[in-house]
Amino acid sequence: MLFRAIALSLALLLGIGTVIPFMTDYTEAGPKHHNKRKKKKLKKYSKAWWRWYHKKQHRKKAIAARIRAMRARQMMLAKQRAAENGDTAPATAKADTRTKSRTAKTAVVAEDSSPAILPSGEAAPQTWKRTQATNSEQQFRVSDDGGNQLGTASLSFVGPAVGADSDRGSSKTLGGVSTSALRRTVIDKMVKEEGWVVNDYQKDVNGKKVYVVVAQSSVRGAVQSRLFFFTEVEGRIYSLATNSSNDSADRIARESEKVINSLQKANRPVQAELR
């Protein structure tokens, strides 16, 4: 019996000595033998990366489509509620609205019929009617002889000239300002309007240098001609920008040169309107 008790005690001690380390490894802070699944880092522009990118974009488009559908449904429900509640404007209010609309149209026609005066003090071409004017810009509606609109034009003050153009390298400056900087302003404008620059060049108008940037933009699938004329007058640089269809571009370009010519005439001070 003694030997059996001793043998059982030894077996129990050996068993406890084996179980304790094993249990300790699993009860200490955090599992040691279970490796966390690390997110595989994809190499940019690899095939796997492009698959992940396309899935991400697809999810974004699906979410955006659901949001649009929800908004459209909300708008439809709102219209249905308004129709059910009889939320319509009285006939008198509609009549007043039509009267105001006619009055506004009459005012616009009266404004268009007024003569447009350029900052030089001369009258603009007869087909150019001023629609809006601020301290730094004049906007015009350009029409043909029959009154049909051909396009629009905008005369604005760009900034002061920084010096005279030297003979050497004069093709790269206008009033001391780099033509690349002027071209950059047109590029920035075209980027905002989803247009593009086609060409740029210099020409003489009334014996003075004019920098021209030719651009285009698309409106409802139709390509529009955009011309930007830059000229220096008495230490100031002005910009004349036009927008028209390709069919009317040549006519508007000729009339634009007349406007530039009027600004460049000697002994004709530029008014303080475009400063």
pLDDT digits (tens, 9 = 90+) for 30-65: 555 555 566 678 887 788 888 888 899 888 888 988
pLDDT average, residue stretch 180-184: 92
Q: What percent of the chain has pLDDT over 90?
A: 16
Question: In angstroms, how far apart are the furthest CA atoms of the chain?
Answer: 135
- Asked whether residue 182 is domain-assigned, the answer is yes
Q: What is the DSSP string of 129-144?
A: EEEEE-SSEEEEEEE-
Q: What is the pLDDT of residue 123?
A: 74
Intra-chain end-to-end CA distance of the chain, in Å: 119
Tell me, yes or no, whether 153 lies in a domain: yes
Residue 120 domain-assigned (yes or no)? yes
Residues 264/208, Cβ–Cβ less than 8 Å = yes
Confidence at residue 37, expressed as pLDDT on a 0 to 100 scale:
65
Asked, for residue 198, whether it belongs to a domain, the answer is yes
CATH number at residue 173: 3.40.1000.10
More confident residue, 82 or 240: 240
Q: Is the pLDDT of residue 243 over 70?
A: yes
In a domain, residue 180? The reply is: yes
Alpha carbon distance 208, 174 (integer Å): 10
Task: Check pLDDT > 90 for residue 225.
Answer: yes
Q: CA-CA distance, 166 to 164, in Å (whole number)?
A: 6
- H helical segments located in 85-178: 91-113
The structure tokens listed for 185 are: 């302003």
Domain containing residue 118: 105-264
Q: Comparing C-alpha atoms, which of 106, 107, 125, 127 is closest to residue 117?
A: 125
Asked if residue 174 is part of any domain, the answer here is yes
Separation between Cα atoms, residue 212 and residue 260, nearest integer Å: 12
Band of residue 267 on the pLDDT scale cut at 50, 70, 90: very low
- Per-residue pLDDT for 178 more than 80? yes
| Most confident residue range from 83-97, 102-116, 157-171, 188-202 | 188-202
Query: In degrees to the nearest 10, what's the CA dihedral of 115, 233, 270, 152?
Result: 30
> Is pLDDT larger for residue 211 or for residue 4?
211
Q: Could you tell me if residue 31 is inside a domain?
A: no
Phi and psi at residue 236, to the nearest 5°: -130, 145
Name the domain count of the chain.
Answer: 1
Contacts 24+ apart (CB under 8 A), 263-267: 263/118, 263/119, 263/120, 263/231, 263/233, 263/238, 264/205, 264/206, 264/208, 264/231, 264/233, 265/120, 265/122, 265/206
Highest mean pLDDT pick, 16-30, 153-167, 177-191: 177-191
Residue 66's pLDDT is 86
Q: Does residue 12 lie in a domain region?
A: no
